[in-house]
Structure 1
Amino acid sequence: MAGPTTAERGERQQESSGPPRTRRVRPPRLRTVVIVAAALAVLAGGTVWLLYASNWTRVERVSVSGTRVLTPTQVLEAADVPVGDPLASVDTGAIEARLARKLLRIDEVRVERSWPHGISLKVTERTPVLIVQKGRKFVEVDEGGVRFATVSRAPEGVPTLELNPDRSGSAAASLRRFDDDRLAREAVRVADRLPRAVAEDTRVVKVRSYDDISLELSGDRTVVWGSAEQGERKARALTALMKAAPDARHFDVRVPTAPASSQS
């Protein structure tokens, strides 16, 4: 007769050996717990001391980058970083708020810690898209319509904004909805959509109402733009019109699907 198979021998062996034993996991001894807790407490206390009480991580220097018109000294004075204070306790948000409040030319600023002793101020200045003349001074206006600085000399290549609202008839009612600030923002929208060659050639952006915006170019040329709506389509229409009629003096793109040009 044949002997028991391998499977049968395994089953008999398992029956004879009984259920598998379970290994008991001993809880850590009280002494070990106390030692670990004490070590963590010392580590935490040392970290707090290092960050807030020691002289190893205090503010010793402040760097400024990204300025174009502003000077680093102006930024440092406005930031008023607490030199000598623990680096970890410096309120970077408060510094950013001070810079935005005191220096309107700043569009964005990032205040970053540079361990172990530094604070860096990374500045992005506003760029003028239009200027508004006031007497012998010029007010710079950025792409958001913010009037952020008054300068004695007009920046080169930046068109002048002329606001001459039409206060007669139905246009007067429109002014109650579109004040000078809103009209200035509409002019900025137009300037932002101009083809580069046209933008470089634009001398004045005139605004009489929300839908009556025009441009004065060099060479005594004019562009009737209309409202700021459909800016990209109007820009394409103007580019095509100028190529088709290079000697024209007047261009009308109020209706971009039916642009027109003339010699006079």
Structure 2
Amino acid sequence: MAGPTTAERGERQQESSGPPLRRRRALRLRTIIILAVALALSAGGGLWVLYGSQWARVERVSVTGTRELTEGQVTEAAGVPVGEPLISVDTDAIEARLSRELPRIDTVDVVRSWPHGISLKVTERTAVLLVESDGKFVEVDDEGVRFATVSKAPKAVPLLELTLSRSGSAAASLRRFDEGRLMREAVRVAGSVPAAVARDTQVVKVRSYDDISLELSGERTVAWGSAEKGSAKARTLTALMKAEPDARHFDVSVPTAPASSAS
């Protein structure tokens, strides 16, 4: 008599091992369900901690990096939503408000300090020139941004004078380079002047794009020319002042052909 076929042997083997196999499958399914429930509870608990509990809500705002501004001014302008969930605070919106409300701020980093704080790390603009207006002084930074008006001129910050001619070649220059551009050129000059000279600079005078000069203490003057070749002009001026310490007028508008005079 022929033996059982392959299919019959498979059916008998499955029948003999059926109950244990079904139990293993049920166990695996139960384990998967338990893990899924645990993960769901864990995620839900985490969301509740971040959004629903009192554990991670804004309770304090700290400010660092201020010089002229007060911590109170920065905190008020920031408008941090105290009492709200820390995770939901819109840090970009806070940065935008501070830049809009306090132009003296150059940059600010808004950082979440878990579990209860917001940290405002401020960098203020630094004045490199002053523009006198109605008896007050407008501070201008190294990017040419007018960022604050003060009643008293800060020390060691030169005054900017725009004495622009409206005739001849100067008028043509003014049509090409407006006052905003000329102010930025003056800022470039102020940034190129040697440190020792910068401390003595009282006025940066702009007549045109190519005619920028410095008025120093002791009735000394420097004809700088345009803002171009600032590094070369700075080196030349340093050497010229060392070689001619008694001179009162220096001309480095062409740095390869400098000049000085006592009167």
Equivalent position of 2:179 in the other structure? 180
Report % sequence identity: 74
Equivalent position of 1:134 in the other structure? 133
Q: Which deviates more from structure 2 when the two are superposed, residues 254-263 or residues 197-206?
A: 254-263
Report the 3-state secondary structure (helix = DSSP H, G, I; strand = E; otherwise coil) of the residue aligned with 2:75: helix
- Supply the distance in 1 between the matched residues of 2:253 and 2:45 (Cα, whole angstroms): 70
C-alpha displacement at 1:255, in angstroms? 0.8
TM-score by structure 2 length? 0.89
- Supply the distance in 1 between the matched residues of 2:63 and 2:70 (Cα, whole angstroms): 9
Q: Which deviates more from structure 2 when the two are superposed, residues 48-57 or residues 36-45?
A: 36-45
Report the 3-state secondary structure (helix = DSSP H, G, I; strand = E; otherwise coil) of the residue aligned with 1:176: helix
> Unaligned regions of 5+ residues in structure 2, if any?
1-23
Equivalent position of 2:53 in the other structure? 54
Q: Which deviates more from structure 2 when the two are superposed, residues 94-103 or residues 33-42?
A: 33-42
Pair 1:120 & 2:119 matched: yes
> How many residues are aligned here?
239
C-alpha displacement at 1:171, in angstroms? 2.1
Matches within 5 A, 1:31-180: 31-180=30-179
The amino acid across from 1:52 in the alignment is Y
TM-score by structure 1 length? 0.88
C-alpha displacement at 1:131, in angstroms? 0.3
> Unaligned regions of 5+ residues in structure 1, if any?
1-25
- Supply the distance in 1 between the matched residues of 2:254 and 2:168 (Cα, whole angstroms): 23
Report the 3-state secondary structure (helix = DSSP H, G, I; strand = E; otherwise coil) of the residue aligned with 1:219: helix
C-alpha displacement at 1:173, in angstroms? 2.2
Deviations 1:189-233 (A, max 9, x none): 000011111000000000011111000000100000000000000
The amino acid across from 1:63 in the alignment is S
C-alpha displacement at 1:176, in angstroms? 2.1
Provide runs of 4+ in structure 1 moved above 3 Å. Answer: none
Equivalent position of 2:10 in the other structure? none
- Supply the distance in 2 between the matched residues of 1:173 and 1:252 (Cα, whole angstroms): 24
Deviations 1:56-100 (A, max 9, x none): 000000011111101111001100100000000000000000000
Deviations 1:134-192 (A, max 9, x none): 12100000000000000000000100000111211232222122111111110000000
Equivalent position of 2:222 in the other structure? 223
- Supply the distance in 1 between the matched residues of 2:261 and 2:195 (Cα, whole angstroms): 22
C-alpha displacement at 1:39, in angstroms? 1.2
